[in-house]
Amino acid sequence: MLRRLFIRDFVIVDSLELEFSKGFGTLTGETGAGKSILIDALSLALGERADAGVVRSGRERAEVVAEFDVQASSPLSDWLSSSGFSCDEEAILLRRLVDSGGRSRAYVNGAPATLAQLREAADFLADIHGQHAHQSLLRPDAQRGLLDAHAGLTLSAREVAEKFRAWKKLQDARLHAERDAQATAREREMLEFQMKELQSLALAPEGWADQWQEINREHRRLSHAASLIEGSEAAMAALDDGDLGLATQLEAILSRLRSLVDFDDGIKEPLDLLESAHIQLQEAGHALRHYQGRLDFEPKQLAELDGRIAAVMALARKHHVMPEDLPQQLSSILTRLDELTLMADAALLAEREAAAQKEYQTAAGKLSKGRDKMAAELSKAVTAAMQQLAMAGGRFEIELEKLEEGASYGLESVCFMVSANAGQPLRPLAKVASGGELSRIGLAIQVIASQAGRVPTLIFDEVDVGIGGRVAEIVGRMLHELGQSRQVLCVTHLPQVAARADWQWSVAKIEQDGTTQSRVTPLTQTERIDELARMLGGVKITETTRKHAAELLAG
């Protein structure tokens, strides 16, 4: 469940830290006081997109931190471990920063995270039903997604979509092969020529970059062979040219100094340095003789390297790649040739297409069975909830219409059908005229779907708009029952809903130091009566409204 929420410089909130309790809680207050802002802040921590508009005016950045419980050995705990995040205190901290330029940073338990990772964590933590949830249920994709999520079929639906795409890709390839056989043959002929050109270079698939560098080094050496021979011979002559050679002259200097060291040991330091230089000259002479022994010049080898380098550079220019990337270019050509070979064989493509279609049909068939079962269960549960929500005789039914060929989402379309009153025919939910009916039906669907969900925290942001009176009291009881097994937080304007809460906070807007700020106050039992009276009676609160509020709270 949600333990704490810390907000700083978010819209009209300067700094706010909230500690949440289990059960069913409500946020109440005047319109515009900032109740939904708290939900927006939590949504930000759960991975929703943000822009610079969320940063409080005049501040550098907005910050939101949400802390949730984590049970040991739970799916969330496993996800944290597999994603490389620590989980030492049976808690998860989701932190989000948004600066005044709109740039965003995210953290999970103090470690940098992506928005995708925040959303993955959110799937284990909370469901937020927003103010426009009823309207989203009018869309066929939202209806299908809700049914699949309620039935635990989301992964199956993704698998079906992948198999559908694989099938259609092969179908397109077969049609292309049948339609464009000549163009395929021309492309194949061109690629085969390019393949032979590249293969003639005998490029090593592994280590070609090092080999190319070695070729260039050897080419430079052979290109300057004459200079290398001449330079090494001149150096040897300078070292060993009889009495004029450096070695002979240095030996004479050493002999003279050795005879003088007995007269003054101050000459020993330069003597030692010259002794060392003499040794190095000798070693240099040995190294030069060894180098001369290995030094050769093969005009034929240089010509061969010239030709190889020219061929490599020519093909690199032709294919618009660096010489080091030619093996990858050859690999790409071979891959494309394999594809063209397949494309040229319409019979083989048709065989693979049929196999892919069968795989799709099998996966989609399993998905359909799961949808059939859950559609009946969800239809029955929502119909029962409608009877409680002043829609006696109303019916809700999920219609699964078979598709002739199938689609990326399966073998059927999903449509929510509703009869708001007894004796009326079922009609698509999108054609329900009454906003109040839509609100009640949408709320029933959300509550029933939430009961089957697995997330520990459920948040309803003014989803009870459009209802009132006895229906509002029933909604409050439904949410209270839901709060027996989950943590439920509801932003509401309805006193009948707020009265059923285990705890209640009041959100108010205040003026301080010339700026508008939002404040949240946990309410005592007496304060709850006053707040419910305000919600019941409007501007003027009388003893009658207080008495009514107390009766609501006593419930």
Residues 397, 425 contacting (CB under 8 angstroms) = no
CA 388/CA 538 separation, integer angstroms: 28
123-137, 198-212, 293-307, 462-476: the lowest-pLDDT one: 293-307
pLDDT(371) > 90: yes
C-alpha to C-alpha distances, 534 to 76, 120, 267, 288, 531, nearest whole angstrom: 41, 40, 108, 103, 5
Which of 106-115, 196-205, 507-516 is modeled with the greatest confidence?
Answer: 106-115
pLDDT per residue over 145-174, tens digit each?
889 988 889 889 999 999 999 999 999 888
Runs of H (alpha helix) within 46-180:
75-82, 115-125, 133-136, 140-151, 154-179
Beta strands in 356-409 (DSSP E): 395-407
CA 554/CA 529 separation, integer angstroms: 10
Q: How confident is the model at residue 98 (pLDDT cuts 50, 70, 90)?
A: very high
The predicted model gives 221-226 an average pLDDT of 63
pLDDT at 181: 64
Q: Which two tokens stand for residue 322?
A: 């660096």
pLDDT(397) > 80: yes
22-26, 149-153, 399-403, 537-541: the lowest-pLDDT one: 537-541
Of 297, 300, 299, 298, the residue nearest 229 (C-alpha): 297
Dihedral angle over CA of 14, 17, 22, 26, nearest 10: -20
CA 359/CA 363 separation, integer angstroms: 6
CA 164/CA 53 separation, integer angstroms: 41
Of 468, 462, 522, the residue nearest 492 (C-alpha): 462
pLDDT per residue over 232-289, tens digit each?
667 777 777 655 677 777 777 887 778 777 787 788 888 888 888 888 877 777 777 7
Contacts of 360 (CB under 8 A, 6+ apart): 160, 163, 164, 166, 167, 406
| 488 bridge partner residues | 24, 458
Contacts of 134 (CB under 8 A, 6+ apart): 438, 439, 441, 442, 443, 463
Higher pLDDT, 107 or 72: 107
Which burial class, exposed, middle or buried, applies to 283 when counting CB atoms under 10 A from its CB (0-12, 13-18, 19+)?
A: exposed
Phi then psi for residue 352, to 5 deg, are: -70, -35
CA torsion sign for 398, 404, 405, 407 is negative
Which of 171-175, 192-196, 392-396 is modeled with the greatest confidence?
Answer: 392-396
CA 419/CA 391 separation, integer angstroms: 9
The predicted model gives 511-535 an average pLDDT of 86
Of 420, 422, 404, the residue nearest 412 (C-alpha): 404
pLDDT per residue over 473-510, tens digit each?
888 888 898 888 889 999 998 999 999 999 999 998 88
CA 276/CA 289 separation, integer angstroms: 20
pLDDT per residue over 295-341, tens digit each?
665 666 667 677 777 887 888 888 888 888 787 888 888 888 887 77
Superfamily the domain 1-131+437-522 falls into: P-loop containing nucleotide triphosphate hydrolases (3.40.50.300)
Higher pLDDT, 440 or 118: 118
Of 112, 97, 117, the residue nearest 41 (C-alpha): 97
- Bridge-based pairing of strands 487-491 and 457-461 is parallel
Higher pLDDT, 258 or 219: 258
C-alpha to C-alpha distances, 146 to 143, 415, 478, nearest whole angstrom: 5, 11, 20
pLDDT at 357: 95
Residues 26, 498 contacting (CB under 8 angstroms) = yes
pLDDT at 529: 92
pLDDT(346) > 80: no
Residue 148's SS3 state is helix
- Bridge-based pairing of strands 24-28 and 427-428 is unpaired
Of 179, 307, 295, the residue nearest 228 (C-alpha): 295
Maximum Cα–Cα distance across the chain: 133
pLDDT at 499: 93
pLDDT at 4: 94
CA torsion sign for 321, 322, 326, 327 is negative
Higher pLDDT, 213 or 115: 115
pLDDT at 233: 66
Q: How confident is the model at residue 99 (pLDDT cuts 50, 70, 90)?
A: very high
What 8-state DSSP symbol labels residue 478? H
pLDDT(361) > 90: yes
Q: How confident is the model at residue 105 (pLDDT cuts 50, 70, 90)?
A: very high
Dihedral angle over CA of 320, 325, 330, 335, nearest 10: -100
Mean pLDDT for all residues in the chain: 83
pTM attached to this predicted model: 0.61
Higher pLDDT, 544 or 225: 544
- The residues spanned by each domain of the chain are 1-131+437-522, 524-555
The predicted model gives 433-456 an average pLDDT of 73
pLDDT per residue over 226-248, tens digit each?
566 666 667 777 777 655 677 77
CA torsion sign for 539, 541, 544, 549 is positive
